[in-house]
Amino acid sequence: MSTPRLDLTADPIELTAALVDIPSVSRDESLIADAVEAALRAQTTDFEIVRHGNCVLARTHRGKPTRVILAGHLDTVPIVDNVPSRLTVTAEEGEVLHGCGTVDMKSGDAVFLHLAATLADTVCDLTLIFYDCEEIAAEFNGLGAVERDLPDWLVGDVAILGEPTAGQIEAGCQGTLRVRFTAAGTRAHSARAWMGENAVHKLGRMLSTLAAYEPRRVDIDGCEYREGLSAVGVHGGVAGNVIPDQAQVDVNFRFAPDRSPEQALAHVREVFAADLADGTLTAQVTDSAAGALPGLANPAAAELVAAADGRFRAKYGWTDVARFSALGIPAVNLGPGDPSLAHRVDERVPIGQITEVTQILRAYLTGASRAV
């Protein structure tokens, strides 16, 4: 298939539709990466452009005092009869663009690409990173590959990820920890249950503890993060007439970014200390990722908040802002679209939000918001 042509100077709404119409399910992003690279090379004048696998990187060297990183992933979840894009107008939602990736996050990518092609006079240098494989296991994440292989591209004063936030800044992100708790017993025939030791029954105290758990709320830089400790999976049982000799509960702890993963694990072990101390349960960490502090006190981030009319809130889910935070770069999420509509068959974005985010970032990158 020939490389689709993208007009980066077109309205970002039209550009969003064009991006959506290029299928780019995770691990199949070469066509959209080709299109983005070709458009940047043809329609921008002073960007250094590098291709790394299916990541497309571009940056200016204008000698500005600060550098802003705009990063967005090119991949989507599998398509479910929701490509190509289509526009609808209803009394309830107004003008809405439908299609896989409209929310997560080709509308954000479209805004970044449009601004790169149309802003010749910025108050900061720009770095754009369009990467692959965000929607699948972290080991395949293209941004991680850039961090390993081209670390100088992840140098900046503030990073903006085009994750869907309905046009409102969502700062930082919470960390995530998954722990598998295992109870051991003795297998026996259920007709002679007294001869066994039921592993499933041993989960009772733990599940009661989870049901009674009161999650913490914490304010950081004016953002309220709400933690959550939840059972997300229960496994056990052998057959309908067998006392199970093993049972497991998977617990997910979403923790505020003022905790490290090590502190989060210590807290989880404290919550279930009684079961762990007497040997009822053993614990194994199956997944862990640090959160990201909002960093809104940083001057570059504070200017972005001002450009967004002071509208910001905490990000509860984990996003790649954590990668930038770990490098000491304040990072926020800002993009069109309701995140609750991401990955759905009826994924859709109000076109007004695409325009709104474009205006916010245009004012921020040109310094127009400073004069207000």
Q: Would you call 75 a catalytic residue per the annotation?
A: yes
Catalytic member of 109, 134, 227, 275 = 134
Q: Which one from 29, 34, 75, 157 is the annotated catalytic residue?
A: 75
- The Cα 165–Cα 315 span in angstroms is 9
Task: Give strand pairing partners of 129.
Answer: 57, 71
What does each C-alpha distance from 221 to 2, 176, 227, 314 come to in angstroms? 48, 20, 16, 9
How far is 205 from 209, CA to CA, in rounded Å?
Answer: 6
Give the pairing type, strands 331-333 and 169-171.
antiparallel
Give the angle subtended at the CA of 304 by the CAs of 301 and 305, to the nearest 5°.
Answer: 90
Six token digits for residue 231: 């059972």
* CA gap 74, 104 in Å, rounded: 9
Strands (E), the chain: 47-52, 55-60, 67-73, 86-90, 94-98, 125-131, 158-161, 169-171, 175-184, 188-189, 217-220, 223-226, 228-236, 242-243, 246-255, 282-289, 312-314, 331-333, 348-350
| H or E element at residue 12 | helix 12-20
Indicate which residues carry an active-site annotation.
75, 134
